[in-house]
């Protein structure tokens, strides 16, 4: 088990899915891809630089359930450009402000 693996708070599940994110100081939502999920957060690929600790607004519709909450950036890694010279970032978000019903939904979805 790698060092990052031991720091995780919850079991991860591969989950390729598109959600809407509103970045800090942005007035509109941007579509981004989720790479994996857990009961406590998401891993995303984005083309916008964010900092650890930033709060992002999230909108998701998963299995017909609309979910809105915030995500706090837990970590950020620069990825190699895959198309041209556009940088992309792999980042981990920890859910914040999620209601109890949505938390329970994610627990069941991820098998926690």
What is the reported pLDDT for 67? 93
Does the domain at 17-110 match CATH 2.40.10.220? Answer given as: yes
β-pairing, 55-62 with 65-79? antiparallel
Q: What is the mean pLDDT of each run of 10 residues along the chain (112 residues)?
A: 45 78 92 91 91 95 92 91 75 93 89 74
Q: Which of 94, 106, 20, 97 is closest to 63 using CA atoms?
A: 106
Q: Which residues contact 79 (CB under 8 A, 6 or more apart)?
A: 45, 87, 88, 89, 90
Q: Domain locations in the chain?
A: 17-110
What is the reported pLDDT for 3? 38
What is the reported pLDDT for 9? 59
Whole-angstrom Cα distance, residue 50 to residue 64?
A: 29
What is the reported pLDDT for 50? 92
Question: What's the pTM?
Answer: 0.81
Whole-angstrom Cα distance, residue 70 to residue 22?
A: 9
The alpha carbon dihedral of 65, 69, 73, 75 has a sign of negative
What is the reported pLDDT for 19? 93
Residue 95 has which token pair? Answer: 């859910």
* Residue 49, CA atoms < 13 Å, CB-side half-sphere: 3
């Amino acid at each position: 088990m790698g060092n990052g693996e031991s720091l995780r708070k919850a079991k991860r599940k591969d989950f390729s899915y598109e959600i809407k994110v509103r970045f800090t100081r942005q007035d509109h939502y941007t579509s981004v891809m989720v790479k994996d999920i857990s009961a406590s957060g998401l891993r995303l690929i984005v083309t916008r630089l964010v900092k650890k600790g930033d709060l992002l607004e999230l909108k998701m519709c998963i299995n017909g359930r609309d979910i809105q909450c915030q995500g706090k950036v837990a970590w950020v890694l620069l990825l190699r450009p895959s198309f041209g010279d556009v940088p992309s970032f792999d980042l981990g978000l920890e859910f914040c402000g999620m209601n109890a019903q949505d938390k329970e939904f994610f627990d069941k979805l991820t098998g926690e």
